[in-house]
Structure 1
Amino acid sequence: MNAQTQIRSLIDTYRQAVMAKDVEKVMALYADDIVSFDAVKALQFKGKEAYRAHWQECMEMCPGPHIFEFHEVDIVSSQEIAFAHWLAHCGGTNEKGETQACWMRVTACYRQEAGLWQIVHEHWSAPFDMTSGATLFNLEP
């Protein structure tokens, strides 16, 4: 199996684990030295434990079904390093039964060690209006 196929499989495993709200399965995909620029709450998360706490909180925020759809996935890889980016439609159902979702931009970096690909960096973001400072959650591809 080539690197791009392996990364595509990892991305699909990641998406399925989030949909299943399986924090342990999500965390198994990250390197211990993960640095994430997530779009929620903090400027950055360093290390698995900090990011695990964040993921656990995210799962609890939406007790209903999750939305986690990936579009326009593009992967560039070598033997040891890979990069991917995509548009993600993500969100979930809150305790009132309301669906809350938006489109985000995602970039992920992967490193292969001892035959195992892991996520070493992730960046989730949403565009914003520079004049008002408002996040543009209503944009669609």
Structure 2
Amino acid sequence: MNLKQPARAASDETGPTTARSVFMSTYDDNAREQIQASLQRWAMAVRNKDLDAITAYYHPQVVAYDAIIQLQFKGIEAYREHWQHCLGMCQGPMLFEMQDLTIHADGDVAFAHWLNHCGAADESGEMKGSWMRASAGYLLTAEGWKAVHEHFSAPFDMQSGKALFDLKP
């Protein structure tokens, strides 16, 4: 494993699919760039509500811990059903943007973490959303880098047990 010191990279803020404040390790720049491009395609697919493009991002044996509905999802079919349910709850345009993306890659394994601003337009057309924490683990496959693990969560207040959806980075 190459243990070079990570280097801060300038972020490209040319569009809504590009993460801001990107921190990229120097372990494997090519892998990092491929994963970042995959994340950008995935975020665009979510905003476009393109279920096939969303699930193309994942490994068939993905294990996902999403912030809503159930404790975990095992396998692409279970997670695809979950995504379909989530997209069905969002009638208007989607809000799905990443910030503070960090990617580390070495060999055929990588991981990333970021803050994700997600939501949708309400009945009046007003965008409603909250910030979530996200992390993912990737494996390099014959089809490229695939998310084999994903975790979305929101912090919560221990006294009330309520999620803290009003927090901002």
TM-score range, shorter chain: over 0.9
Q: Deviations over 1:84-103 (max 9, x none)?
A: 00001100023453432000
Q: Deviations over 1:34-79 (max 9, x none)?
A: 0000001010000111101110011110110000010000000012
Which is strand-richer, 1 or 2?
1
Residue 7 of structure 1 corresponds to which residue in structure 2?
Answer: 35
| Structure 2 residue runs without a partner (length 5+) | 1-28
RMSD of aligned Cα (Å): 1.2
Structure number, greater radius of gyration: 2
Residue 77 of structure 1 corresponds to which residue in structure 2?
Answer: 105
Q: 1:56 to 1:115 in 2, by over 3 A?
A: closer
| 1:65 aligned onto 2:99 | no
Residue 140 of structure 1 corresponds to which residue in structure 2?
Answer: 168
Instruction: Report the more deviating stretch, 52-61 or 87-96.
Output: 87-96
TM-score (norm 1): 0.95
| Structure 1 residue runs without a partner (length 5+) | none
SS at match of 1:129: coil
Residue 131 of structure 1 corresponds to which residue in structure 2?
Answer: 159
| 1:121 aligned onto 2:160 | no
Runs of 4+ residues deviating >2 angstroms? 94-100
Question: Superposed, which structure 2 residues align to 1:42-61 within 5 Å?
Answer: 42-61=70-89
Q: Would you say how many aligned residue pairs link Structure 1 and Structure 2?
A: 141
- The letter of the residue matching 2:47 is M
Q: Percent identity?
A: 48
